[in-house]
Amino acid sequence: MIRIKAIRGKRDAEKLVRSMNVDEVVVNLLSDKQRFYVFQIEKLPPAAVNIIKQMALARGTDAVIHRDVITCRADKTDVVLSGTKKEFEYIASSLKNQPFGLGKITGQIVNLIECLEQEKTPE
């Protein structure tokens, strides 16, 4: 039997991990890997989208981008970024000092994840 497990925050992930009788030492590490997020970042210049895509791929996740980003024919476009909490932490820290407004986006990603982790509604 296969069951779908809905993980809505840190507590759900920790509860699931603990239910598998793992050593308490790894609960936090493993629960971080169980939380998966998908964010749509809107109206970015192609250069910023390319940087996000590269960071995502470097971390082993991916980003959905407009086909014309690679040719720079897209003026402004959205990017859909998905990954685990751990992957987003890496991506956010990597984007922090990048140009094209990516530092500001980093703060927004961190804020969204914090809200989701605490099961609060993002502002």
More confident residue, 70 or 121: 70
Domain total of the chain: 1
Q: Is residue 65 part of a domain?
A: yes
Q: pLDDT tens for residues 18-58?
A: 999 999 999 988 888 888 889 999 999 999 999 999 999 99
- What does the pLDDT read at residue 123? 60
Compute the average pLDDT of residues 75-86.
Answer: 91
- What does the pLDDT read at residue 29? 86
Mean pLDDT in the chain? Answer: 89
Q: Is residue 81 part of a domain?
A: yes
Q: Which domain holds residue 88?
A: 39-117
Q: Which of 95, 86, 32 is nearest to 61 (CA)?
A: 86
- Would you say residue 119 has pLDDT above 80? no
Q: Which amino acid is at 24?
A: E
- What does the pLDDT read at residue 49? 95
Q: 63 falls in which pLDDT band (50, 70, 90)?
A: very high
- What does the pLDDT read at residue 45? 94
Q: Is residue 9 part of a domain?
A: no
Q: Is residue 92 part of a domain?
A: yes
Rounded to two decimals, the pTM is 0.81
- What does the pLDDT read at residue 50? 95
Cα dist. 55→6, 74, 92, 101, 114 in Å? Answer: 27, 20, 9, 15, 21
Flag the least confident range among 7-11, 73-77, 81-85.
7-11
What six digits make up the tokens of 20?
Answer: 């598998």
Q: Is residue 34 part of a domain?
A: no
